[in-house]
Chains A and B, each alone.
Chain A
C-alpha cells in the first residue's frame, strides 16, 4: 500500500481519480453480489413450482382429507390462486422482509426454525475453520521446500485427508475416542468436549485441501527473486517463509474462501448426522427426508447469502490489498 500511493499520485492526469475507480469497482462487485442473490431466489422459486402434484395436498401431508372449500381457503391464504408472475413478485417481496415462508411439515416459519438451529452449527463451523487453518499453515510452513521425504509424507497425509469421506473420519474418531477410550461423549451438543470430535472431523478434509494449495504457493513464492533477496539480506529461512512467502501463498488460499464456506456448510450435514448434533445440517437432512421443500429452500438461500456476503467481503478486501485490481 505505502509503496503504491506515491506512484498513483505522481501521475494524476494519466489515470482517472483513484477514489472514483475504487468506488466503481466496489459498486460493480456489490451489483454482482445482488445479481447472484436474485438468481438464487429465482432458482428457489422455480424449485417451489416443481413440486409434483397440488402444493396444497403436499402441504397438508398424506392421509388428511380436506374439503375443497378448506383447500381453496389455504390456496387463497398462501396466494397460490394468483398467477405465477404475481406469486414470484410476492415471493421476492417476502424474502426482502426476511420471510422465508412456512415449513410444510412443522407448520412454523422457516426463518424461525433456522434461527433456532443456527447456534450449534456456527460454533462447529468456526471451531473447524480455526483448526483447519492452524493445521494447514502448520503443515505447509514446516514442509515447504524441505527434504523430499518430509514433503512426500505430508503430501500423502493431505491426499488421504481429501480422499476420505468426512463421515468415515467421524465414524473412526467416534469408534476410537468415544466407544473404546471413552474420552469424548458419543452424541449431542453439550459443552466443549462434545465439540472436539465433530470439529476435527469437519476440519480434516478442509485442512488437507488448504495445506496443498498453501504449500504450492509457498514453494512458488520461495523461488521468486524477493525470497532470494530477503535471504541474501541475512534473513533465516524460517523468517523468509513467515515474513515474506506466507503472505504471497495466502493469496490463492483466500480465493478458496467460497469453496471453504461451502464445504463447512455442506460438511455440517454429514458431521451433524454422524455425531447426532443439533444444527443447520441436521435440520437440512430432516427437511430433505420429509420433502419439506420450503424449509430446504430456506436453507439453500441462507447458504447462498452466506457465500455471497463472504466472497463479496473477500473481493473488497482484495481491492484494499492489491491496488492492481482497482482498474479491472
Chain B
C-alpha cells in the first residue's frame, strides 16, 4: 500500500489534518521541489484559518492523550516481544485438549483455542514473530530503497533511467500481488515473506531517496566537500547518505504499520511462519474453522495486529508532521 502512496500524492500518510499543509501538494515528504515531485504550490493556501484557539487546545489535548496512550501500548508490545515471560508464565504452545475452546474468563483471560492453548499467552508470545515480520520487511525495504535510490541518483543517466522505469513498472502492480509473485518464486516461510513485502515497498522508497539525493548533491556542503578533495565513496557515505535518507526513514515509520498488516496477511494466507508459531496472522488462520463456536479465537489476535498498526500509525504520523514542519521552517 505504502509504495503507491509515495508515487501519487500522499494517501497513506495524510498526516494529522490540523498539522498538514496543502493536501493537494504532490511533493509530499519526497522533498519540496524534488525533480520527481512537481514543486508544491506553496504551503500558505492549505492551512485553514477556521480553528479557534479553544478548539485548538481541545484538539491538542486529545492529541496529547492519544500520544501518551500510543507510547504506552508500544512499550507493552515491545516488552511482550522482548520478554513475554515477564508478562505471563503460561506456555503458548502447551496443549490441554480437555480445556479446548474455553470462553474468556478468570482462568483464561482471552479463552483457549482448539487445542486448549491459552490465547492470552499466545497473543503475548506472538508479539515477537509478528513484529519481527513487519520490522524485517521494513528494514529490507529501507536498505533496498536506499541502495537503489542512491544508485539511480549517482550512477549516471542510464542507471537512473533503467531503475526509475523499473520502479514505475513495479508501482503499477498491487503490493499484495507483487508479494505473492515473490513468494511464488522464493517459496514460503518467514524470511521470504519479509523479502516479498520489502520488494513491494522498495520502489517507493527508492524514488524518495533518489529525489532527495539529487537535491543534497547540489547543496553547498557537498560542493565544499568535493572542493576539499574528499574521495567519492567517503563523500557519499558521510555527507550524501545521512542527509538523503531522512524523508524515507520518516515514511518508513508509517510504512512499518502497513508492512506489519501486509506480512501478517501473507501469514494469514498460510505462506508465513508455520504452526505452532503464535504469529498473529497464522493464529487467525488456524482459528478460522472454529469461529462458529469460539468468537474469541477470531477477535484477540486480530486486535493485537490492529493495536500494533494503530500505535505505529499514530506515532509515525506525528513524526512525519514534525519532520515536515522542521524542513519547511
Asked whether, in the complex, the Cβ of B269 is within 8 Å of the Cβ of A216, the reply is: no
CB-defined contacts of A311 to chain B, threshold 8 Å? 172
User: Which partner residue on chain B sits nearest A291 by CB separation?
Assistant: B184
Whole-angstrom distance between the alpha carbons of A208 and B201 in the complex? 21
CB-defined contacts of B302 to chain A, threshold 8 Å? 164-165, 167-168, 171-172
User: Which partner residue on chain A sits nearest B188 by CB separation?
Assistant: A289
Asked whether, in the complex, the Cβ of B169 is within 8 Å of the Cβ of A39, the reply is: yes
Interface string of A25-64 (1 = CB under 8 A from B): 0000000000110011011000100110000000000000
A175 CB-CB contact with B under 8 Å: yes
Contact of A159 among B180, B181, B284, B313 (CB under 8 A): B313
Chain A nearest CB from B32 CB (Å) reads 17
Whole-angstrom distance between the alpha carbons of A168 and B287 in the complex? 12
Question: What's the count of A-B pairs with C-beta under 8 Å?
Answer: 209
User: Which partner residue on chain B sits nearest A273 by CB separation?
Assistant: B269
Interface string of A236-261 (1 = CB under 8 A from B): 00000000000010011001101101
Q: Report if A252-B24 is in contact (Cβ < 8 Å); known contacts: A36-B168, A165-B305, A179-B291.
A: yes
Asked whether, in the complex, the Cβ of A300 is within 8 Å of the Cβ of B178, the reply is: yes
Asked whether, in the complex, the Cβ of A220 is within 8 Å of the Cβ of B46, the reply is: yes
Contact of A266 among B11, B24, B174, B288 (CB under 8 A): B174
- B contacts with A: majority SS: helix
Chain B nearest CB from A168 CB (Å) reads 3
Contact of B177 among A39, A51, A222, A265 (CB under 8 A): A265
Interface string of A152-168 (1 = CB under 8 A from B): 10010001101111111
Whole-angstrom distance between the alpha carbons of A51 and B265 in the complex? 24
CB-defined contacts of A248 to chain B, threshold 8 Å? 24
User: Which partner residue on chain A sits nearest B299 by CB separation?
Assistant: A172
A135 CB-CB contact with B under 8 Å: no
Chain A nearest CB from B275 CB (Å) reads 16
User: Which partner residue on chain A sits nearest B311 by CB separation?
Assistant: A163
Interface string of B46-90 (1 = CB under 8 A from A): 111111000100110010000000000000000000000000000
Chain A nearest CB from B158 CB (Å) reads 16
Asked whether, in the complex, the Cβ of B172 is within 8 Å of the Cβ of A36, the reply is: yes
A269 CB-CB contact with B under 8 Å: yes
A288 CB-CB contact with B under 8 Å: yes
Chain B nearest CB from A313 CB (Å) reads 14
Whole-angstrom distance between the alpha carbons of A63 and B86 in the complex? 49
Task: State which residues 65-117 of B face A: CB under 8 Å.
Answer: none
Asked whether, in the complex, the Cβ of A261 is within 8 Å of the Cβ of B174, the reply is: yes
User: Which partner residue on chain B sits nearest A264 by CB separation?
Assistant: B174
Whole-angstrom distance between the alpha carbons of A273 and B170 in the complex? 25
Asked whether, in the complex, the Cβ of B295 is within 8 Å of the Cβ of A263, the reply is: no
CB-defined contacts of B281 to chain A, threshold 8 Å? 165, 167
Asked whether, in the complex, the Cβ of A40 is within 8 Å of the Cβ of B23, the reply is: no
Interface string of A291-317 (1 = CB under 8 A from B): 111001101100110011001000000
Q: B12, B55, B176, B292: which has the most chain A beta carbons within 10 Å?
A: B176
List 12 contacting pairs A-B, 8 Å CB cutoff, sorted by A: A152-B59, A166-B265, A168-B284, A168-B298, A168-B302, A171-B298, A175-B299, A267-B176, A270-B265, A270-B269, A273-B268, A292-B184
